[in-house]
Each structure stands twice: as C-alpha cells, then as structure tokens.
Chains A and B, each alone.
Chain A
Amino acid sequence: MIPAPFDYESPTTLEEAFGLLDRYGDEAKILSGGHSLIPMMKLRFASPEVLIDINNIPGLSHITKDGNTMKIGALVRESEIEHAKELIAHFPIFADVTKLIADPSVRNRGTIGGNLAHGDAANDHPAVMLALRANIVISGKDGNRTVPIDEFFHGFYMTEVQANEILTEIQIPIHGKGTGSAYHKMERKVGDYATAGVAVQLTLDANGTVTYVGIGLTNLSPVPMRAERSEAALLGKKLTDEVIAEAAKCASEDCSPSDDLRGSEEYKRHLVGVLLKRMIHKAAERAMA
C-alpha cells in the first residue's frame, strides 16, 4: 500500500504554516500524528497534493495548568496524555480513554489535536471533550479564536477549523471538589473503534446533588454528540437509580447509531444506556473519592 505522490512542506513556525495553507488551499492537508491520514492515503482514499507537516512547529506540545484551566497543545501525543500525572489527577477520564485508543505504538504518534480535528465521531476524544466542555483554540494568520466544543463539530469529517487555520490548543475548565469523570467503550477487540462509547464528567455537592454534568457519546451519531437530555435528567438531582435510568433512557433515544459490523442500531441504543449507567457510577465514585 503506497500513497499517490505529493509534495511535502515542513514549516517551523505557525506563520510559515499559515502562508503555506494560503498558498495551497484545499489541495493541502495538515499532517499531525498522521495515523488517520496516512492509512487513508496508502489506501488512496485520500490523495492530497501537499502535506503540511506541523510536527516541527514548537510550542504545541504542552500540558499546563493555568489557573482553573488545563491547556493541552494540539501536538501532544496520546501516550503523553496517558502519562500526564497532573492532568489525570484532575481528569481521570484521560487514563480511561487513552488506554482504549488504538495501541501503544499508534499512541506514540497520534495527537489529541488530530484526533479532534479529524472530525470523526468514531474517534474517542470528541466525546470526552464534549463531556469536559472543552474550548478549542483555532489559529490563523489573523490570530487565535476560541470555540466552545459544542460549536466545533459540523458534520462528517467537518469541523470549525477552516482551510487556512490550524487547531492549536485545547482548554479544559477544571471544576472544583466533588468532580469525577470516566470513559468506556465497547469494542470488538482492543484498539477498535467503539461499538458504543460514553464519556461522563459530573460534580456532586456535599449532599450528593449533581451540580454539573457533561456527557459525550462516541460513534453513536454521524457527528460527535453531547447527550443533552441525559445531562438535564441528572442536573440538580441526586443519583438515584431512577434518575440514572432516566438519563440512560434519554441517551438511548437521542443517539442515532446505524447498523454495521459492530452491531445493530437497537443493540447500540441498548449499549449506550448500559454504559452511561456504568460511567455515571464510576464518575460519581471518583467524585466522592
């Protein structure tokens, strides 16, 4: 399997990259981890004329805490997230999710920015970021703009990032005490795309009432999806079996999975309910720990 010929550019500054994007327009593709793009090029499902490799641009590989915000550079590799102690202390969901993405060698290359910018509802980080209410920093030659994750995904492989822009940073608000998060997906074998995946973050007050909740779903809709009615079912309530069951029911009803080799639509609607219950419990346990 061999890609069609293309030109290769390797800018060392963002400005240089923007210049190249301007010059090549739609003919160019940004190369980050490359583990979605290169396989597609090898299969000749994608044949860009130019690859703009952003791996040599410094300043995009940080994981830093800035006040109540966690900032993750777009070029941070999955394996770096896996071992990022402070990030995982705040968001244990990252330990859950990275372990389930592809395999260790792929995680050494795959980047969080690429995972999101690919705009694929089968990827795992979109659901996580929806649950965490992340903000996405998109850079262009005229500067940066910050987009809430809810406004980031537009369609199948389509995001808010325009042809002359680059996703550069992910910003995640840190919630206070009593917050927990969790992710799980059913997969046919390790490293597979999800049959169904659920990301949950919630905050419980001293009485056990949900004061904040975010829920994202993986591979259960054409566009990465936040389970808003499920969130509403939990918000301001205590986590009784009935409340959780209602949230699960909403997610089953609201998602729009399709039949495929992983299972039927009905199975996936069932699974999302089961997984949501389990992730609510797991997140709540972590919140109370």
Chain B
Amino acid sequence: MIECKTSKAISGMGHSMKRKEDGRFLHGQGNYVDDIKLPDMLYMDIVRSPYAYAKIKNIDSTAALAIPGVLAVITGKDLEQYNLHWMPTLMSDTQMVLPTDTVMYQAQEVCAVIATSRYAARDGREAVKVSYEVMKPVIDPYKAMDASAPVLRTDKEGKKDNHIWHWEAGQKERTEKIFAEAEVVVKEQMHIPRIHVSSIETCGCVADYHKVNNQLNMYMTTQAPHAIRTVIALVAGHVGLTEEKIRVISPDIGGGFGGKVPVYPGYVIAIAASFLIGQPVKWIEDRSENLQADSFARDYHITAEMAGTKDGKILATRFKILADHGYTDASANPSKFPTGMFSIGTGSYDYDTSFMECDAVYTNKPPGGVAYRCSFRVTEAVHAIERITDRFSLEIGKDPADVRMQNFIKKEDFPWKSPMGWEYDSGDYHAGLKLAMDTVDYWGLRKKQAEMRKEGKLMGIGISTFTEIVGAGPSKDFDILGIKMFDSAEIRVHPTGKAIARFGTKSQGQGHETTYAQIIAEVLGIPAENIQVEEGDTDTAPYGLGTYASRSTPTAGAAAAVAARKLKDKARKIAAYLLEVSEEDLEWEPGKFFVKGAPEKVKTIQEIVFASYTNFPQGMEAGFEATHYYDPPNLTFPSGAYICVVEVDKETGAIDVKRFVAIDDCGNIINPMIVQGQVHGGLTQGIAPAMYEELIYDEDGNILNGTLMDYLVPTAVESPSWETGHTVTPSPHHPIGAKGVGESPTVGAPPAIANAIVDALSPYGITHMEIPITPFKVWKALKEKGVV
C-alpha cells in the first residue's frame, strides 16, 4: 500500500488520480498533428528510393507537374541552392535532407511533391520518374569492416573505411587476467535485432512560414520541442530563420517511444517548402514510410562473456559490440556516450571488474539508433548481462535465482560504485526478487517443471533482475549537441489559487498533465485538479530537453518539486505576515499553514496566494510564480525483478507465456495507476522484440517486412495478462525520491522471456536463442539437437 500525505481532494503523490487529459481523448477531441488544418495549407508527399545504394541519374518531374493540383517537385539540387540539403544528426554526424547524387538506403527521401491536396500529392509522387544506377550495397555490418568493402561515406573527406568510432570502458587488463584464471568462463554471441517503435501515430508536421514577418510556426510530432527549435535554427539560421523566429508546437502525440526525438528529413523539406512557397505545408508519413525510413532501435551484435567461480560468484564480465548504425550515426545519445548507457551492463551484481568495447559501422540501411522505450542502449546491456548470468548458472548447475541472490549488491551497500564508474543511488534487489519468487511460487514451479520434463513436456522459468539508469542527466557529463540535459518547470498560481504549470518536457501518453499536477499538489496543497499542466509550445514553456529515456520525472518532475518548494517558502512568509507570527511559529499541513498550538489560526494556501496579489508584506515581490531549471546531481537507478513462465509445444515450436510477474522499484510513486499502466505497456513492448518484432533486410538491402502485415506488433492476444507489483526504495538524491519507470519493463522483459524459453529447451543442450524467438526458431533449434 502506498502511503499518501495528502487527502484525495488534494491528490498529491501516491493517489491513483484518474487522468486529467483523458476527457478530450475519449471524446475524439485530441489534437494530433494530422488534425491541424490551416487556411491555404498544402500537402507534401515524398518520393523514396527503391534501392539501398544507387546513383541518381535523373529525376523527371514533368508528368507529376502536369497533374492538376501539383505545384512543385523539390529535389536535393533545389535545396542545395539554399545550402539546406544537409543537416546534422543528434550525434554530430551528417545526414542528407535530400540527395543531390546518391541514395544510401532503401526508402530514403529522393524528392518531395507539393500539392493542393493529399490525393494530388500522392498522384504526383507516383508520377515522378527517377532513374538510378544501382550499386552493390553493404548490408552485413561485419562485412562493412572488410578491407574490400566499398567506402560508403565518400561525402566525408579522407574517409577510408566504414568504421565510425571505437568506444571502450572498464578494466581491460584486470578483466583479461580474471578471465584467464577463472574456474568458469561462459560466452554467448547475441544479436539485439533492429526494431522499430512503430507508435500508432506516425510522424508528421505542418510547417507554417509567414513571409511578412519572417516567422515559422512548426507543428510537429516531437518529443523534444525546444531541442528541435535549436536544431532548426542551426540548420536554417543562415536563410534568416533564427531561433526567435521559430515556434515549435508539439500537439498531442500518439505515442513516441524515442522515434519522435530525431529530426527527420521530411520535417526540414516541409519547412523549406513552406519557406519557398509561403503557404503552410503538411507532411504526414504513411506507416510503411515510418517503418522503412524512420529511426530504428538497437541492432547491436554482442559477444557476452562472464567469468566466475564454480560455486556461483561472478568475478568479471566482458562485452564486445558491433553496432550497425546504417547510413549515418543518428543515434539519440548524450554526446559523451556513443553507446549510450550500455555501461550499466555490469548489472545488479556485486563485482568490480568488467571491460566493454564497441565499434560502430556504416551500412546501407536507414539511420537511427534511437530508443524503443528504452533509455540509451540499456536494453541491449541488460539483455547481455541477464542472458549471460543465466548461461553462467546453467554452466555451474546452480539455480539462476540462487546465483542472483548470491551476487546481488546488498541494500546496505548503496550508494554503490559500479566498475564502470556509475554510482547506483539505491536499491533492494533481494526484496524485489523474493517478492517475485513468492508471487509465482518459484520453487513450486521448479518442482512442476521437473515433473513435466519427465513427461517430455517443455516448461521454462526465466528471471531477469535488472538495474536501469535513467534521468539524464547531470550537466557535468550530459548534453545533446552541447545543450546540457537539465529540465524545467514554471509554476504560476493565479489570485484565486488555481495554477498553470509549464514544462520543458512533452508527454506522449505518460500522463504528465496529471502527475506533474500531483507533484505540485503534494508540495503546495493546491488540489491537483486545479493545476493546469501545459507542455510542447516553445513560445510559452521554459527550455527543456524533452521527454525520452525515462527522464521526465527525474528531471522536470524534480524541477516541479523544487519550484513548488520555492513557492511554499514564499507562502510561509506571507502566512507569517497575515497571522502576525514569526515563520518558525508556523506549522504546515497539506494546503494550509497554522500557528503551532493554535490550529484555529490558519491560512489556507488559497488565502495566501490571494494575499500575494492583494496584501503582501512591503518589499516582497508581488504574485505567486516560480521557475526552476533542475540539474540532477546523479542519475537514478530503478530496478526490477521479472519472472516469466512459458510452455513450449515441442512439435510446432509454439511458445505460450503462461505467467509474467513484474516487480518494479522506481522509488517513490507519484500515481500508482499510471506507474502500473507504464509497466503494462512497457512489458508488451518487451515481449515484442523477444518474440515478434525485427526489421529484416535481404542482401540487397530490401526491407522484407516494411508494413504492419509483417512487422508483428503484438495484439491483445499475444500480450499476456501481466501481473505487476513493486518495492519502494526512494532515490536519496531526487527531491521527491522518485526514479522514472516508463522504460524499465521494456528493458527487463526480453531477457526474462528469452531465459524462460532457453530454460525450457535446456535439457536438450540448448544454451542460447536469438530474439525474437519464434516457433520456427524453436523448432529449428530442437531439430538441430535431434529432438524433433
């Protein structure tokens, strides 16, 4: 049971307050980008490359321009005249907006058709004739490293190979020594496949440039409106679009999950089109364009190794990664961390030696490297450590639950310094796993498993006990394109005691309009119902880095609490003035100050706020407003213990997830209903890459599953009935002790599922399965072992 300090009427932290934003969505009154319609609005459609690697010989727009309603066909050569044909990626690499000569991946933007209607734009797109000289692409990232591989990024002067960067961290020599001497060493090769967030709303924008006052209003599906405004100013400042002339508005967003962080070429082309034509231009992707061209997630090839003792003590880990970045490095990572937070991969275990390295390469695939409801490569890291921990347990013949319990960092050892230099803020891993095990009756299941095995039936139990790293981040280490990763809150309380609060983040379904109000309600005692939350308009909201990587609560949520505390300090001063006592004589109860020992002498927060406009001490600044830009002192480290139970049909390979229990610890909980909702959703996005989703390319770079017919987003039938619970270990450094939760389940679920399936198959000598684990793969593995 979560304790609440405030009444339900106030609904501060801990209340499962029903969401304030729901009304408009439930009545069809949400305002998503495709719902925006402006006078004289034009429509843009994009011609895309059918080839993964080709020279553009000619673009013939004649037939397209003959179609009634088609106004223009914009090519890379057109943009080149304004020097708008290239743009920076978030990782300071470069990316074409439109190509002037070569296309580098299938579905890359080739040119854009502008028309007076959506239908005419599409007809125009079909009528543009492009001739190509097709070249042999580089698809396999391992082959990209071959000396004989063609160099793809010939646009980069002096580039002689397809290597992007090398990263390494940890204790190389000590790791090698431990591995050389260890009693037990295990190793598995694993691919964390290329996947796609596929939010149900695709990406799009309405670029609305006004020539008369040189002003751009940019309505777009972005998770980070302020950062995008800055990027637009960097790309287009030289044509007069400087930052004060750009207003980015992020309306309601139909799911983001990281896919709406980057700047896609379509946005820039739409801006250029509106700038050149002087009318608003709408661009909305199709699903297939979204799947085929927008940023992918993951695509890490990992060699994972663990060294330990025969009785189960983990001594060291080693991870070697090959990262396939596609045509450009368009990852959305903090600048200093090309592999994101992969270095959380030492896991929840108490040992002091690890070495990790990564090489990134270019291939002829779409760029990306964004999250998929996962903060900065944590999913890849957690999959590696949790799978190899199970592999280690299998090797020494000890139960994986026991091995985990044996190696967990102890509650009393926090804050704990990891071999990679992170300071884990808090956790109680033993309690989490114990609760998960009790909930599923773990030892009872192991008995049942033994009985089923005797009957030749395949049942598996998989555990994942992960540590997340979220809330980027402290300004000393964290920036994107140089901008430090703080976030912000601004609270204005009106004379009648009702408030509006604005933030630098942007909800895509996380429920900020409710939870931020609850944080402020917790501090100020103003009912959350009376606190309006607004995000997504760069003209009104304070600057912030946006919502992704489970950072909103750790950063903007903290900013809300700190700003509210500033106001509470002011309220105390006003109350003391009104009650004619000293501040020390006052006591606080949610929503009011009263005189110690004389509870009848009381001023409610509403009376105090009114006084701040009508009757305040001489010399005090009028009004009741505060702003805070919060620079977190550390990241937060949520954790979880997940257990998955599966049965496998030996004959068909079909996998039935019988139970899935998820115990999360995200510190103090703002709204249990919303936290649970986030966990449910993240778990389904965890089973997705574990069993269903992968973007598949053939050797010519053709995507083989570029629609939702073949890219298998789970339905309610594939998604099990999730069982969730929590332990609460507050973050010691966060103002309200919260940690962030949106991505934990996506991070924690895949290894639990993979471990369960491998556990089911382990009697036949199977030690690893590559995700997504499909019935076909299971059957193939059993066949290779001669079982079927």
Contacts and interface: CB of A to CB of B under 8 A. Distances in A.
Contacts of A4: 123, 126
A189 B717 contact: yes
A189 B780 contact: no
Interface residues of B, number: 28
B776 A262 contact: yes
A271 B778 CA distance: 13
B654 A186 contact: yes
A267 B776 contact: yes
A155 interface: no
Contact of A2 (B119, B652, B696): B119
Chain B CB within 10 Å, residue with most, of A44, A103, A188: A188
A43 B288 CA distance: 10
Given A189-B692, A264-B776, A274-B651, A2 B718 contact: no
Interface string A224-250: 000000000000000000000000000
A191 B714 CA distance: 11
B705 interface: yes
Given A189-B717, A274-B651, A2 B710 contact: no
B775 interface: yes
Interface in B679-716: 692, 696, 704-705, 709-710, 712, 714-715
Contacts of B788: 270
Nearest to B705: A261
B774 interface: yes
B122 A2 contact: yes
Interface residues of A, number: 23
A36 to B, nearest CB: 12
A1 interface: yes
Contact of A190 (B122, B653, B696, B715): B715
B652 A271 contact: yes
B779 interface: yes
Contact of B652 (A43, A44, A186, A191): A186
Nearest to B653: A267
A263 interface: yes
A1 B708 CA distance: 13
A44 B776 contact: no
Contacts of B712: 188-189, 192
B776 A189 contact: no
B784 to A, nearest CB: 12
Interface string A1-24: 110110000000000000000000
Contacts of A261: 696, 704-705, 710
B118 interface: yes
B692 A267 contact: no
B712 to A, nearest CB: 5
A189 B718 CA distance: 7
B773 to A, nearest CB: 12
B118 A2 contact: yes
Contact of B717 (A1, A190, A263, A274): A190
B69 to A, nearest CB: 12
Contacts of A191: 715
B311 interface: no
B286 interface: yes
B126 A263 contact: no
Contacts of A186: 652, 654, 775
B715 A189 contact: yes
Contacts of A44: 126
Interface string A264-276: 1001001100110
A188 B286 contact: no
Interface in A74-91: none
A245 to B, nearest CB: 13
A267 B780 contact: yes
Contact of A188 (B652, B774, B779): B774
Contacts of B715: 103, 189-191
Chain A CB within 10 Å, residue with most, of B705, B779, B788: B779
Interface in B207-246: none
A263 B776 contact: yes
A267 B718 contact: no
A44 B127 CA distance: 12
Contact of B714 (A189, A264, A270): A189
Contacts of A188: 692, 712, 774
Contacts of B122: 1-2
Contact of B286 (A1, A270, A271): A1
Contacts of B126: 4, 44
B779 A267 contact: yes
Contacts of A271: 652
Interface string A177-201: 0000000001011111001000000
Nearest to B704: A261
Contact of B718 (A43, A190, A270): A190
B115 to A, nearest CB: 12
A4 B122 CA distance: 9
A271 B783 CA distance: 13
Contacts of B118: 2
Chain A CB within 10 Å, residue with most, of B652, B704, B712: B652
Contacts of A275: 652
A275 B119 CA distance: 46
A104 to B, nearest CB: 11
Contacts of B651: 274
Contacts of B119: 2
A218 to B, nearest CB: 15
15 contacts: A2-B122, A2-B123, A5-B123, A43-B288, A188-B774, A189-B712, A189-B718, A190-B717, A192-B712, A262-B776, A267-B653, A267-B776, A270-B779, A271-B652, A274-B652
Given A189-B692, A190-B715, A192-B712, 5 more contacts: A2-B122, A4-B123, A44-B126, A261-B696, A263-B774
